[in-house]
């Protein structure tokens, strides 16, 4: 009997060890799956290293969920590309007409200066061909001609006050236009950050299970995310000033998170929501948004990531 009890205890111990090993393997597989899922957007944009890209390709061969999500991301990006406007459509026809007239005037002034310089060269070559000595009268006439041409060249290089005032007004107008465009885009980016922050706070403060089970809420958040993704691409492409570099990086980081939200599905929603929450916490997205708003004078000092997030109305 003692021998039998010993064998039963040994068998039970082996079963418990096997369960622990299985649990460990499952956790490791889940962590690997999550890592590859986070790299899907970078894989689609061809931003991964060769090693990471091969790892993602091996993973999607055996993971139907990631394959479906990658296809959904690809369709979303293709849709955004088709809806992108050409650069010429970003300004009015009147702007391009005035721009062409300004360029035409500058080309005409430059051509006049080049013609005057080439005229001097041709004049010198003409007289250089004649080897005979010039008479005193002819030399005097040539001197007067050279002086007259020098005076005319000086007048060309120093235009009249009216012309100078006109050129200065053109420069000031161009500078004002650039400042207006920059300010307008920063205001638009601030509105985009505020909408994204409200959406993320709603997700961070909602229980994952409740969020997934509420089909209408999840659908609404996906719709908002898709709208913000389109806005993200356009804003990022137009933040070209060096002083806007940090703002552009924040807009791009938010775009990655929003793509994840836009592709959340009810079937794998819990895992997707956890990935989104982890990405927001890990990258300090909400803290960066608050910091950007504070520096632009639109928000109080930012909260730390471990503080409770304010409640959202989403």
pLDDT tens digits along 220-257: 888 888 888 888 888 888 888 888 888 888 888 888 88
- Evaluated on CA atoms 221, 227, 233, 236, the torsion sign reads negative
Look at residue 285 in the predicted model and tell me its pLDDT. 85
Contact 197, 284 (CB under 8 A): no
Computed over every residue of the chain, the mean pLDDT equals: 70
Q: Which of 305, 57, 59, 67 is nearest to 200 (CA)?
A: 305
Q: Which of 43, 63, 155 is nearest to 109 (CA)?
A: 155
Say yes or no: 141 and 188 in one domain.
Answer: no
Contact 44, 18 (CB under 8 A): no
Read off φ and ψ for residue 220, nearest 5 degrees.
-65, -40
Say yes or no: 120 and 66 in one domain.
Answer: no
Say yes or no: 15 and 42 in one domain.
Answer: yes
Look at residue 138 in the predicted model and tell me its pLDDT. 55
Look at residue 265 in the predicted model and tell me its pLDDT. 74
Say yes or no: 221 and 153 in one domain.
Answer: no
Asked whether residue 74 is assigned to any structural domain, the reply reads: yes
Reported as a single tens digit per residue, the pLDDT across 166-220 is 666 666 666 666 566 667 778 888 888 888 888 888 888 877 777 777 777 778 8
Asked whether residue 166 is assigned to any structural domain, the reply reads: no
Say yes or no: 222 and 269 in one domain.
Answer: yes
Reported as a single tens digit per residue, the pLDDT across 88-126 is 555 667 766 776 777 677 776 666 655 555 555 555 555
Asked whether residue 66 is assigned to any structural domain, the reply reads: yes
Which structural domain, as residue segments, surrounds residue 43? Answer: 2-81
Asked whether residue 117 is assigned to any structural domain, the reply reads: yes
Asked whether residue 250 is assigned to any structural domain, the reply reads: yes
Asked whether residue 280 is assigned to any structural domain, the reply reads: yes
Reported as a single tens digit per residue, the pLDDT across 256-295 is 888 888 887 765 667 778 888 888 888 888 888 888 888 7
- Evaluated on CA atoms 257, 262, 264, 270, the torsion sign reads positive
With a CB cutoff of 8 Å and minimum separation 6, the contacts of 103 are none
Say yes or no: 151 and 183 in one domain.
Answer: no
The helix, strand and coil proportions of the chain, stated in percent and rounded to the nearest 5, come to 80, 0, 20
Report DSSP letters for 5-23, one per residue: HHHHHHHHHHHHHHHHHHH
Regarding pTM above 0.85, the answer is: no
**What is the length of the chain?**
314
Q: Which of 268, 267, 269, 188 is nearest to 221 (CA)?
A: 269
Residue 312 has pLDDT above 50, yes or no: no
The residue ranking higher by pLDDT, 54 or 146, is: 54
Say yes or no: 120 and 72 in one domain.
Answer: no
Residue with structure tokens 């939200």?
A: 261
To 5 degrees, how large is the angle CA 212–CA 75–CA 227?
60
Report DSSP letters for 72-132, one per residue: HHHHHHHHHHHHPPPGGGGS-HHHHHHHHHHHHHHHHHHHHHHHHHHHHHHHHHHHHT--S
Contact 146, 126 (CB under 8 A): no
Q: Which of 258, 249, 270, 265 is nearest to 200 (CA)?
A: 258
> What's the pLDDT band for 153 if we cut at 50, 70, 90?
low
With a CB cutoff of 8 Å and minimum separation 6, the contacts of 5 are none
Cα–Cα distance, 187 to 251 (Å, whole number):
13
Asked whether residue 242 is assigned to any structural domain, the reply reads: yes
User: What's the domain count of the chain?
Assistant: 3
The two tokens of residue 198 are: 């409200």
Say yes or no: 205 and 263 in one domain.
Answer: yes
Say yes or no: 250 and 201 in one domain.
Answer: yes
Average pLDDT over residues 143-158: 66
Cα–Cα distance, 51 to 36 (Å, whole number):
12
Asked whether residue 46 is assigned to any structural domain, the reply reads: yes
């Amino acid at each position: 009997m003692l021998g039998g009890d010993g064998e039963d205890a040994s068998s039970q111990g082996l079963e418990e060890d096997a369960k622990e090993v299985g649990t460990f393997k499952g956790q490791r597989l889940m962590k690997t799956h999550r890592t590859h899922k986070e790299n899907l957007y970078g894989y689609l944009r061809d931003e991964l290293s060769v090693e990471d890209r091969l790892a993602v390709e091996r993973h999607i061969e055996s993971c139907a969920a990631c394959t479906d999500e990658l296809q959904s991301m690809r369709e979303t990006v293709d849709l955004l590309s088709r809806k992108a406007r050409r650069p010429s459509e970003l300004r009015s026809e009147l702007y391009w007409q005035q721009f062409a007239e300004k360029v035409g005037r500058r080309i005409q002034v430059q051509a006049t200066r080049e013609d005057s310089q080439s005229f001097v060269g041709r004049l010198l070559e003409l007289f250089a061909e004649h080897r005979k000595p010039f008479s005193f009268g002819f030399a005097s006439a040539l001197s007067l001609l050279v002086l007259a041409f020098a005076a005319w060249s000086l007048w060309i290089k120093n235009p009249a006050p009216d012309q100078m005032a006109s050129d200065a007004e053109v420069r000031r107008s161009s500078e004002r236009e650039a400042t207006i465009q920059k300010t307008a885009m920063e205001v638009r980016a601030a509105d985009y950050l505020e909408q994204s922050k409200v959406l993320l706070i709603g997700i961070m403060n909602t229980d994952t299970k409740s969020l997934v089970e509420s089909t209408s809420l999840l659908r609404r958040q996906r719709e908002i995310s898709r709208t913000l993704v389109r806005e993200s691409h356009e804003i990022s492409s137009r933040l070209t000033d060096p002083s806007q570099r940090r703002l552009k990086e924040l807009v791009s980081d938010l775009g990655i998170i929003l793509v994840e939200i836009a592709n959340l599905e009810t079937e794998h929603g819990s895992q997707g929501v956890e990935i989104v929450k982890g990405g927001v916490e890990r990258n300090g997205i909400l803290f960066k948004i608050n910091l950007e708003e504070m520096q632009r004078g639109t928000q109080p000092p930012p909260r730390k990531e471990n503080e409770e997030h304010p409640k959202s109305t989403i």
